[in-house]
């Protein structure tokens, strides 16, 4: 064999090894994302917050999107099956040069191209629509691109006497191509079927309440409420207005309430959970959930402003919450997120007749002096601390006589829980309690 022929054969083998290794990496990442999707959906209280986060990039939005499920399975499970097939195609050619009747190289290229096209569609969806790229998905995109490159190398360097391109196989070796396609389809079916059995089978071994906080004491008063007082379901939202994930959950809640997206009437209760002690005297040992960024952004000022707005103008507290969350979109460099000036201006925008430059106006006097408002927020923070909650959190309670029914435990929604689960939990809590046999 000539030196040039040996070099081509060596490149062919190295490209196959690279395809096999990249396929294993892709299958591993896909399997991890499937496990994370399972935990987010079926055991939200046990799902690790930030378990799929790199810097500001998070996987929760992508995993919670409607496109994350295809044919009843997470798209990551289908990806794992596809990567596993490419591993088999690469290893098969390393073992036998005429693997799958000489159609393996062409099928490897075809699968790599198909996975690359699907990845491109999901990448556009994540960046353009969700505007929330998933870090592990980005890793898969890189793996897929490299797989496409090495699959092309395999296709170009394969011995034409042993491996054929798809076009040649279709014209001259149609029977072999059909047989190889059938075998590959069976492998894809088995790989996805095993994952389907595990994914859907394991859901019966867990409960959505596994690891969820248990409430031993009654919930404190929540002055800011929205929705009918006789609603059969109460949504208790624990929020910090300096928290970007809280903003997303608040917008989702507001949109769902405004557009009557719940199948049953619900009432929303707002609990303030700023991540620093609004009343340091009430937390002599320090606040467990303290976050320097929340303190620097004056998260407590925002909470007191919302409660004071509600006290001075009943019903306006919820609107001010939305206005204050919107300030995150207009952050001013070198300044706290919430200042007296910004809060006052936002209150004026919502129709409150005050002079934001006058420190003695009713809103500012309430913020600075009203001990009752501070006590309400402190009670909310104590309650959040007792439940060991990380914001944002939404408890879906059954209601009885306009209050939380203590006899029925809540379902929980967190930052990493798909918001679509909320509708299901509302339906479950609105239904009559199961009768004990």
Distances, alpha carbon 212 to alpha carbons 53, 255, 322, 407, in Å: 22, 26, 28, 16
Question: What does residue 236 show for φ and ψ, rounded to 5 degrees?
Answer: -100, 110
Quote the pLDDT of residue 421.
83
CB 40 within 8 A of CB 201: no
Q: If the chain, 437 residues long, is cut into consecutive pieces of 10 residues, what is the mean pLDDT of each piece?
A: 71 93 96 89 72 62 78 92 96 88 86 94 84 81 95 86 69 76 92 94 87 82 94 96 91 92 94 93 81 90 95 92 92 87 89 80 92 96 90 94 91 82 91 67
Provide the H-helix boundaries in 125-164.
Answer: 135-157
Q: Which residue has the tokens 């997303």?
A: 248
Domains of the chain: 3-205 (1.20.1440.130), 225-430 (3.40.30.10)
State the pLDDT at residue 49.
Answer: 54
C-alpha to C-alpha distance for 384 and 387, rounded to whole angstroms: 5
Q: pLDDT value at position 153?
A: 93
Contacts of 50 by beta carbon, 8 Å cutoff, 6+ apart:
58
Q: Residue 123, Cα to own-chain centre: how many angstroms?
A: 16
Q: For residue 437, what pLDDT is reported?
A: 46
d(C-alpha 118, C-alpha 131), whole Å: 18
If we measure between CA atoms, which residue out of 242, 246, 219 comes closest to residue 49? 246
Q: What is the pLDDT of residue 54?
A: 61
Who contacts 251 (Cβ-Cβ below 8 Å, separation ≥6)? 322, 325
Q: How many CB atoms lie within 10 A of CB 216?
A: 8
Query: Can you tell me the distance from the alpha carbon of 362 to that of 308, in angstroms, rounded to the nearest whole number?
Result: 9
Q: What angle do CA 129, 133, 237 make, to 5 degrees?
A: 80
Are the beta carbons of 328 and 247 closer than 8 angstroms? yes
Give me the pLDDT at residue 50, please.
Answer: 47
pLDDT the model gives residue 129: 78
């Amino acid at each position: 064999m000539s030196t040039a022929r040996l070099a081509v054969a060596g490149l062919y083998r190295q490209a196959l090894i690279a395809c096999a290794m990249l396929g294993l990496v892709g299958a591993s990442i896909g399997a991890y994302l499937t496990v994370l999707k399972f935990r987010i959906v079926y055991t939200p209280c046990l799902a690790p917050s930030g378990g799929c986060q790199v810097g500001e990039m998070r996987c929760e939005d992508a995993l919670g999107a409607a496109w994350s499920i295809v044919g009843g399975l997470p798209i990551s499970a289908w990806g794992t099956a596809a990567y596993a097939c490419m591993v088999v195609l690469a290893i098969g050619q390393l073992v036998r040069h005429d693997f799958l009747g000489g159609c393996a190289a062409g099928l490897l290229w075809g699968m790599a191209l198909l996975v690359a096209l699907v990845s491109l569609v999901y990448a556009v969806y994540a960046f353009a629509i969700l505007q929330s790229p998933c870090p592990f998905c980005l890793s898969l995109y890189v793996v897929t691109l490299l797989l496409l490159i090495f699959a092309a190398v395999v296709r170009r360097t394969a011995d034409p006497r042993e491996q054929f391109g798809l076009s040649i196989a279709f014209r001259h070796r149609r029977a072999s191509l059909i047989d190889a396609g059938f075998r590959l389809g069976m492998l894809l079916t088995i790989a996805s079927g095993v994952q389907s059995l595990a994914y859907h089978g394991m859901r019966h071994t867990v409960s959505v309440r596994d690891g969820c906080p248990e409430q031993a004491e009654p919930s404190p008063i929540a002055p800011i409420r929205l929705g009918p007082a006789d609603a059969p379901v109460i949504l208790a939202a624990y929020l910090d207005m300096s928290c970007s994930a809280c903003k997303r959950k608040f917008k989702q809640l507001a949109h769902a309430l405004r557009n009557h997206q719940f199948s049953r009437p619900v009432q929303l209760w707002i609990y303030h959970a700023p991540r620093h002690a609004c009343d340091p005297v009430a937390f002599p040992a320090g606040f467990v959930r303290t976050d320097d960024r929340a303190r620097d952004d004056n998260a407590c000022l925002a909470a007191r402003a919302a409660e004071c707005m509600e006290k001075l103008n009943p019903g306006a507290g919820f609107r001010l919450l939305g206005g204050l969350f919107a300030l995150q979109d207009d952050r001013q460099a070198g300044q706290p997120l919430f200042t007296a000036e910004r809060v006052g201006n936002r209150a004026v925008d919502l129709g409150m007749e005050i002079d934001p430059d006058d420190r003695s106006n009713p809103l500012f006097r309430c913020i600075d002096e009203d001990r009752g408002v501070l006590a309400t927020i402190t009670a909310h923070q104590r309650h959040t601390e007792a439940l060991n909650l990380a914001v944002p959190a939404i408890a879906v309670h059954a209601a009885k006589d306009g209050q939380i029914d203590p006899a029925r435990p809540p379902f929980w929604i967190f930052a990493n829980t798909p918001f679509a689960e909320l509708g299901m939990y509302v339906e479950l809590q609105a239904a009559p309690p199961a009768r004990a046999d």
